[in-house]
Every structure is written in structure tokens, then in C-alpha cells.
Chain A
Amino acid sequence: MWNAFFHRADYLAIKPEVLLTMFGLAVLLFDFLLEKRDKYLNAVLALIGLGFAAVQLGMFWPLLVGQLPYSGFGGTFTLDTFAVLAKLIIVLATAIVVLLSMKYLEIEGAHLGEYYALLLLSAVGMMFLVSGSDLIVLFIALELMALCEYVLTGFLRVNRKSNEAAVKFFLLGAFSSGLLLYGMSLLYGIGGSTKLSIIAQRLAERPSPDPLSWVAMITLLAGIFFKIAAVPFHQWTPDVYEGAPTSITAFISVAPKVASFAFFIRILIAALWPMRAEWQVLTIGVSIATMTLGNLAAITQTNIKRFFGYSTISHVGYLLLGLVAAADGNREGLTAIVIYLLVYAFMNLGAFSVVIVMRRKDLIGDEIDDLAGLMARAPGLAILMLIFLLSLAGIPPTAGFIGKYFIFLSLIETGHYYLAVLAVVYAVVALYYYFRIVVAMFMKKAPDTVPLATGPGVTVALGVAVAMTLLIGIYPQPFIMMAREAVRPFFS
């Protein structure tokens, strides 16, 4: 109509993002109309927006199955099954976080509309991140996601820990963005374009020992390793997890991980594929370090949020193993990552939901001992937590086992036996520290009798999380098919 750059279909392709942005802004306006006791309507509005986005994404799925990816906005925005599935996970995770937040914010006395608006806008950033196929789009999306996260981390303005966490997160995040941007600029210099596909072509044409492209790759990857909290760029994780409002800790531990991994996969496969031998070595080293540090450091934690920080780091180590296998052209490696991310989102959000219920008046509830005797006072909750912990530790028949199974399988198929053995040994270590919580819940006496902070929102969140954790564990067939379809675009 106007020129080649604008197509009607392009706007359809970003409809979920547009919807979420509009609902995010609507929450900001709507917030002024509400009395203090009606603030929960903000959450309802946010949920409606997320619901619309999810439905729209669900409608994309059948259009893209078995088809070529849709490339819009002059090739800067790619919509394929991979992006749609990642966006669905992000939207669902955000919705669960909204459900978790209602009661929690009330207790914290910070029930404000901005909170939900920022959540939605952060989700928009993530959704562009998983679809971007151009360095500029990717960077802007990444910053949108990150800036919203910084603000949300410091959302409890009167809480010193929350402020400290936000500042740390912001400073280190800005530093890592700098690194990332430096790598991107070098890639632009090499490729003469910001499009990933063109960069890949140029990289393939370069002579083989090529220090310039190594520097570009390493700085770019360093920036991404920061976002996914891989060693040695993980230091912010425990502090931020501890200081942030618990609902935001849950959010940061799941949604940005999904988005960053999707971004990571797209960069590695679409742009840096010619350098796969190099980034494979790098990923092996980083994944070993990440698993080691995450698993060993988690053993001694007493604060449950820091504990989950280190547990997240160890899961990132496992996810990176999938990339090691993918570097050998193994499809199951990427399938493993997609399934693992899906599974991880639900089991981790489930575990955080239980932690959030522990937050009641006068008790922060974020020490492992605060969970003591949970079986005696709330058996249902204790059993749910047990299921989430078993899943996190990878014990069948829970979803976590399916995720680990595919990671191990891809390593065996590509002949990385030593990594596989290391991974399973750390799975045993992981069981040990997850069961410290089980010991507290089932074998210790309850310290107090303050009633728990349950509410309809948390109940729904727990229900969804446990249903998915068990469903994917017992009948994973449809989810495996979905994950296989999602990684197909990378191999055709």
C-alpha cells in the first residue's frame, strides 16, 4: 500500500504485543478510578489482556505448523512456531505471576497499578525478544524487558533490601548491556548489516582463525550469559532474588529466562551458526561451571529465595547442555531446551507460589525454617510443594524428569558422555538440597500458628502449576510434539 516495508499482515503478526501494550497502558489509566479496596481489579484487567494475547497466540499456532516462518517488517521480525511457543510460555508465566501478586502486594502495602502495567510491558519486551531477527530490534526488546524488571525489583520503596537489589541489578545489568552492545557493534562491522541471516552469511565467508569474530562472539555471549545468570556472570542472582518482592522473584526466575534463552538460541543458530565449534567449547565450559556453582552453593543456603536463586543457576547449567548438543546439529538438544523451559516455568512458579503463601503479617516467610511443620498445618500445600520439589530434582513421574530426560538423551546422542555423567551426578546433589525443604516441611515442628496467606489468586496459580507439572510428567506426548514442531524452523 505504502511501500514494501509495510504490510497489513505485519500488524497482525504483532497483535499479541500490541494488545498487551494497550492493556498495560489501560491499567495505568484505570488505576486512578479505583478505590484502594478495589485495586485487585487492576490485576483482573491485566489478566484479561494476557488472556486475549494468549488466545491470539493460540490462533497463530495452527497457521504456522509445518509452514515456513513469517518474516515481517522487512525481515526484522520473525514469527515461527518457536517464537509462538516461547511467547505462550511467557504469557502464561506472566498470568500466573499476576495471580500470585494480588494477595502478596496487599500484605506488603504496595498494591499499585504501575506494578501490573510494568509486568505487561516487560512481557511485551520479552515477546519481541523471542521474535526479533535484527540486532536493533533485539536490543531494544531486551532493554524494555530489563528496565521494567529493574523497577519491579525495587518496587517495595520502603524496603532497603528491595532498593539495594534494584540498584545492584541495574548497575550490573547496564554493564552487561554494554558488553552485549559492543559485541553487536562488532558483528555489525563484520556483517555490514544488522540482520541475523546476513551476519551468518558474512561470518561463514571469513577466513578460519578469525580473532575479530571471536571477540564479537565472546562479548555478545557474555552479555547473554548475564541475562540468563550463567557463571561467571551470575553474582547478581542471589542478591536480586532475595531483595525483590517474592512475586517478582518468581517472575524473574521464569519469564526472562524463557525469553533470554529463546533469544540466545536464535542468535546462536541464526547468526553464529558458522562459529558453532567455538561457541560449543565456550558453552561446555560455562555449563560445567554453572552446574557446579549452582548446585554446590545451593546446599548451604538458609534463605529460601537465595536458595531458589542458586537452584535457578543450576537449571541454567542444564539448559546450556542442550545447546552443547545442538551445536552438533542435534535436534533433540533444542527440543530438550524448549521442553525444559516449559516444564521449568510451571514447577518453579509452583514452588514460588508456596513460598508466597508463607508471607503473612509480621513474618517474611522466606527462611527455609519458616516452612517447618507445613505438613501438620497445611497438608495440601506441603504435598504440592513436595511435587514441585521432586519435579525440580527431576524425579519421575513429574515434569522435571521429562526435561532432564531430553537433556541427557541429547548428550548421549551427540557422544558427550562425560557431560552426561556430570549432569546426572549433579542431579543427585540437587536432590539433596531440595530435600532440605522436604525435611523442614515434613519432619520438623511448626514454629508458629499465624494463618497462611492463601487467597483465590494463589489457589488458581497453584492449581495450574501442579496440573501442568503432573500432566507433562505423566502424559508428555502432546508437549513433546509441540516442542519438536517449535524447533523445526531451525533445521529446515
Chain B
Amino acid sequence: MQFAHDHILSIILFIPVVGMIPLFFISGENKQATRWWGNVVMFVDFLASLPLVFWFSREAPDQQFKFIERHNWIPSIGAQYFLGIDGISFLLIMLTTVLGFLAVLSSWTSIQERVKEYYAMFLLLQAGMLGVFMSLDFFLFYVFWEVMLVPMYFIIGVWGGPRKLYAAIKFFLFTLAGSVLMLLGILTLYFRYHADTGLYTFNVLELMKHTWPLNLQYWVFWAFMVGFAIKVPMFPFHTWLPDAHVEAPTAGSVILAGVLLKMGTYGFIRFSLPLLPQASTNPRIVKVMVVLSIIAIIYGALVSLMQRDMKKLIAYSSVSHLGFCTLGIFALNPHGLQGSVIQQVNHGISTGALFLIVGLIYERRHTREIKELGGLSNVMPVYATLFMIVMLSSIGLPLLNGFIGEFTILQGAYEVSWRWAAWAVAGIVLGAAYMLWLYQRTMFGPCENPKNQVLKDLSFREIMTLVPLVIWAFWIGLYPKPFFNVLDKPVNAIVERLNPDFFKAAQSARAPAMSPPAAPASLEMPSHAAGASH
């Protein structure tokens, strides 16, 4: 047990990799065994990540990073095998293990060709994603960051839709272009640290303690920004996303939206802000980032309104939702950052579930055109109910998760400028518009198309892919306190690094400490969410 406790991160990280090996020995003809094995490995990986939930709050309460594992890897260049998590990465890892399992579970019947390769790719992808969230060594981080591109390329390119080759290579090239620029940024820091201290290290914690010259910070900030912004994707870099989402198989979309996009926002929070505090707080840079975020929120929502394809609609809604996340980050205060992380988890839950829902109907009808559907609530009541809950969570209805995230982000943005908040609220209104309209067009009204009248409702397995997400959505919506508690410490540490006087100023201004969401109960805030802060 002690061994498992000390190496919990490595265990979670390597279960999928080790799980790949037996896959090679299962005959390609035996699809059922392959499916079972793939699902079992992902489920075991999820189970392995569960102890984190129980251990996390008790583990080393005075340390910022917990469950640290550290070994020399390439001493001649100062690269280490260095894993560790804080509250932010903890939440994203849980999101990854849950969504990873559900995504694989959802492909049981939809993938019929080249089954073995499919599961192998998912396992590799899972390891890459987990590694990104766990690494505290820049070199290791970069390796995982790139490793994950290859399986995703294949998932889109082999099992995707009609324009899969185009979408897959576009995804790969965009992301790679960003990440190699990020690599140059990393090398610049690495070299500069050596010039100042005589030590070569990729250790992020050491690099964070260093004071970098201002000019260098700006350059590195932009290099990182391109890498992360393409991944998020922020406004001018988003064009790969609709293609990739539309062409990817359902499970690929779920992972892409649910986890891969979070790597960009995670990168901003974990690396850009604490490593480059002066650049990140520079008013002009903040202005650029916030304006891009607001454009993404409004533009993503407007484009979603115009879509005829359900999947494309949800893809563009991702651009809008991720705009909230980046807005929260660059509010640069505890509310904004906490809201941003919560919203990232929410987006994983809601959009992941939405893609699953689209996938379910696509598997039955082989189309995602909105006008082909309509009145489905008459023939598929369970489906319609689950869709309703997920849709409401996505538009941020109180009692559900989306509300908590968006509200906290707005609060953070409002503390900086009411104008930012006003623009973002416009995005929420538009978000409600396109989602409700989508629901209305597909679920309500008479079911006239004869093809739709014979559709079967969800099977038990299909319900089970959605139920965990729905439960999680309610959990965050009704009782978000544990999530905020986990985030308190890392977020405060980042804010302190960005603006050492922030907490002193805040304390003298208002007596109550910053325990989020600490806003006084406003008119539209329901008692549940407000109660969470007391």
C-alpha cells in the first residue's frame, strides 16, 4: 500500500501503456476480447486514480505539489522524471480518467473496423494526456505533449468521417507548429537559467523561483502563447477545431473537447503565469488576451447559431466556452482562475456528454444534420431527458455545473472591469440561444420523418456512459465547495506570484478572507450555490 501511495502517479500513468502490450497478442479477429480488454484497462486506470480523491486533501497539506516522484532521467541535460500534482492538475487528471473510460465505453458498437489498433491508440493517448498534467519537468512535459498528437492523428485519420485525412493532418500540423515554438521558449528559459546560475535544469519549480529579465519574458510569453492558444484554441487559431471535431469519431471528439483543449488552458495556468509573472500582468498583453477571449466567446456563439450540423455546432460552442476559461485566467485574480479551472472541468463534462449524445444519434441515423431530426423526444424519451440535462448544464443553468464556473469567472472579470463581464454575459445569452434552439429543433415538435419514428431508445450501456457525467454535473452544481477547496491553495500561490501585494490589498480593503465564491448573494444566485461558501 505504501508503495502504491508513493508511486500513485506513475501507476496511473503507466497502466494504459502496460495495458497496450497484451493487446498485441489478442487476435485481430477476436473483436469482442479486444473491446473487453480495452475497456477493462481504462476502467482499472480510473479505479487507480480514485485513491487520489481520498488521499489528496490529507497528503502533505503544507506542500504546493503532492505525490512527488523524482528520478534522474538524462542528467547530462538536466532532465528529470519529475511528477507531482496540485489541485489544478488533480481535477484535470480525474477528468481525464473518467472521460477516457467513458469515451472508450461509448465506442463499443460504433467502431467495427481495425478494433485492435483503435484501442491501442486510445490507451497511448490516455498515457500522453495524463503525463502532460503530471509533469513538473519541462522536457518530460514536452515529450508527453507531443506523444499525444500521434494517437489523436490516427484516431481522426483512420476512424473519422469523409474528410478525415484533411482534418487529421490539419490538427497535427497546427498543434505541432505551436508546440515547436513553445519548445524554443522552453529552451530560452533553460539556457537563460544556466547563464544566470550555472545549472542546467528543466525543473519547473526551480525555474519558477527565478527572476527573468523583462524583455525575455515578453518573447517567451508569446512563444508559449502560440503553443497554448492553438491548443485551447483561442480566436485566430481555432480553425482546426471544427474540422477535427466534425471528422473525428465520437470518442475522439469527446477526448478532444473534454481533455485535449484543457491542455492549452492548463499550460497558461501552470507555466505562462507563474513563470512569466511580469509579462502576464503587463496591461497590454492582458488586454490582447482578454480581447481575444471575448472575441472567441461572442464569435464562437454566433457561428454556433448558424450551424446545420449538430457536431459542428458543439465544436464552435467549445470555442465560446474556452473563451470563458481564458478570460478567467487573464482576469488574474483568484475568482477568475478558480472559475476558469472549474469551467474547464465543466466543459469537459458538458461538452463531452454533448458529443456522446450526438454520437448516439449518429450511430442510429448516420447523419448529424439538424433538419433531418426533430420530435425525437416522442420516440426516445430517455435520450431526450439526458440531452436536456446536459444541454442545461452547458448553458449554465443554476443547480448545474456550468453556472458555477461561469458565475465565478464573471465575478473575477467584474472585479477587474465591468465591461469584460458585460461582454461575457452577452456570450452566455447567445449560448442559451443556440443550445435551446438546437434542442427545440431536434427534440420537440412532431416526429415526421419515418426514419426517426423507428429509432430505439438508449441501451443500458449507453445510459451508463452518460450517467456518471450527469451525476458529476449535479455534484458541481449543488455542492462545489470541495472543488473550490482543492483549488484554493494553488490559485492563491499563482496570484501571489503574479502580484505579491494582492492579498495584502484585499485584506485591508475588506475584512473577510477570500474564500470563494465569496461574493455576497446576489439576486439571481440560488441559495445552494451561495450556501457553498459558508
- Residues on A lying within 8 angstroms of B by beta carbon are 375, 390, 395-397, 401, 405, 408-409, 412-413, 417, 420-421, 424-425, 427-428, 431-432, 435, 439, 442-443, 475-477, 480-481, 484
B77 to A, closest residue via Cβ? A480
Query: Is B352 at the interface (CB under 8 A from chain A)?
Result: no
Query: Is B212 at the interface (CB under 8 A from chain A)?
Result: no
Question: B180, A409: Cβ atoms under 8 Å?
Answer: no
A484 and B117 alpha carbons, distance in the complex (Å)? 40
A-B contact pairs, 24 of them (CB 8 A): A390-B150, A395-B146, A395-B150, A397-B143, A397-B147, A405-B183, A408-B184, A409-B190, A412-B184, A412-B188, A412-B191, A420-B187, A424-B181, A424-B183, A428-B176, A431-B172, A431-B173, A431-B176, A442-B157, A442-B158, A475-B73, A477-B73, A477-B74, A477-B75
Of the candidates B142, B165, B176, the one whose C-beta lies within 8 Å of that of A443 is B165
Question: A409, B177: Cβ atoms under 8 Å?
Answer: no
A413 and B181 alpha carbons, distance in the complex (Å)? 16
Question: A484, B191: Cβ atoms under 8 Å?
Answer: no
Binary contact track B231-257/A, C-beta < 8 Å → 1, others 0:
000000000000000000000000000
Question: A435, B143: Cβ atoms under 8 Å?
Answer: no
Q: With A375-B117, A421-B184, A427-B176 given, name 10 new contacts (CB 8 A).
A: A395-B149, A395-B150, A396-B142, A396-B146, A417-B184, A425-B180, A435-B169, A439-B165, A475-B74, A477-B74
Question: B173, A476: Cβ atoms under 8 Å?
Answer: no
B residues contacting the other copy or chain, number (CB 8 A): 31
Min distance, Cβ B220 to any Cβ of chain A, angstroms:
11
Min distance, Cβ B151 to any Cβ of chain A, angstroms:
11
Min distance, Cβ B429 to any Cβ of chain A, angstroms:
39
A413 and B153 alpha carbons, distance in the complex (Å)? 33
Binary contact track B187-212/A, C-beta < 8 Å → 1, others 0:
11011000000000000000000000
| A interface SS class | helix
Given contacts A395-B149, A412-B188, contact A428 B143 (CB under 8 A): no
B177 to A, closest residue via Cβ? A428
Question: A408, B176: Cβ atoms under 8 Å?
Answer: no
Question: B173, A412: Cβ atoms under 8 Å?
Answer: no
B117 to A, closest residue via Cβ? A375
Min distance, Cβ A32 to any Cβ of chain B, angstroms:
47
Min distance, Cβ B513 to any Cβ of chain A, angstroms:
44
Question: B183, A443: Cβ atoms under 8 Å?
Answer: no
A429 to B, closest residue via Cβ? B173
A396 and B149 alpha carbons, distance in the complex (Å)? 10
The count of A-to-B residue pairs whose CB atoms sit within 8 angstroms is 74
| B interface SS class | helix
Of the candidates B153, B164, B180, the one whose C-beta lies within 8 Å of that of A427 is B180
Question: A425, B184: Cβ atoms under 8 Å?
Answer: no
Note all chain A residues with C-beta closer than 8 A to B158.
442-443
Note all chain A residues with C-beta closer than 8 A to B184.
408, 412, 417, 420-421, 424
Note all chain B residues with C-beta closer than 8 A to A484.
76
Of the candidates A425, A435, A476, the one whose C-beta lies within 8 Å of that of B177 is A425
Question: B150, A477: Cβ atoms under 8 Å?
Answer: no
A427 and B187 alpha carbons, distance in the complex (Å)? 16
A424 and B117 alpha carbons, distance in the complex (Å)? 30
Query: Is B154 at the interface (CB under 8 A from chain A)?
Result: yes
A401 and B149 alpha carbons, distance in the complex (Å)? 14
Question: A396, B191: Cβ atoms under 8 Å?
Answer: no
Min distance, Cβ B192 to any Cβ of chain A, angstroms:
9
Question: A480, B177: Cβ atoms under 8 Å?
Answer: no
Question: A480, B180: Cβ atoms under 8 Å?
Answer: no
A442 and B157 alpha carbons, distance in the complex (Å)? 9
A484 and B76 alpha carbons, distance in the complex (Å)? 10
Note all chain B residues with C-beta closer than 8 A to A390.
150
A484 to B, closest residue via Cβ? B76
Note all chain B residues with C-beta closer than 8 A to A442.
154, 157-158
A424 and B187 alpha carbons, distance in the complex (Å)? 12
Min distance, Cβ B413 to any Cβ of chain A, angstroms:
34
Question: B154, A409: Cβ atoms under 8 Å?
Answer: no
B192 to A, closest residue via Cβ? A412
Question: B187, A439: Cβ atoms under 8 Å?
Answer: no
Min distance, Cβ B30 to any Cβ of chain A, angstroms:
15
Binary contact track B136-180/A, C-beta < 8 Å → 1, others 0:
000000110011011001100110000011000100110011001
Note all chain B residues with C-beta closer than 8 A to A425.
177, 180
Note all chain B residues with C-beta closer than 8 A to A375.
117
Note all chain B residues with C-beta closer than 8 A to A405.
183
Note all chain B residues with C-beta closer than 8 A to A476.
74
9 smallest beta-carbon distances between A and B, as pairs: A424-B180, A396-B143, A480-B76, A412-B187, A428-B177, A477-B74, A396-B146, A413-B191, A428-B176
Note all chain A residues with C-beta closer than 8 A to B177.
425, 428
Min distance, Cβ A388 to any Cβ of chain B, angstroms:
13
A366 and B249 alpha carbons, distance in the complex (Å)? 33
Note all chain A residues with C-beta closer than 8 A to B143.
396-397, 401
Note all chain A residues with C-beta closer than 8 A to B73.
475, 477
Min distance, Cβ B147 to any Cβ of chain A, angstroms:
6
A45 and B398 alpha carbons, distance in the complex (Å)? 80
A439 and B173 alpha carbons, distance in the complex (Å)? 14
Binary contact track B280-321/A, C-beta < 8 Å → 1, others 0:
000000000000000000000000000000000000000000
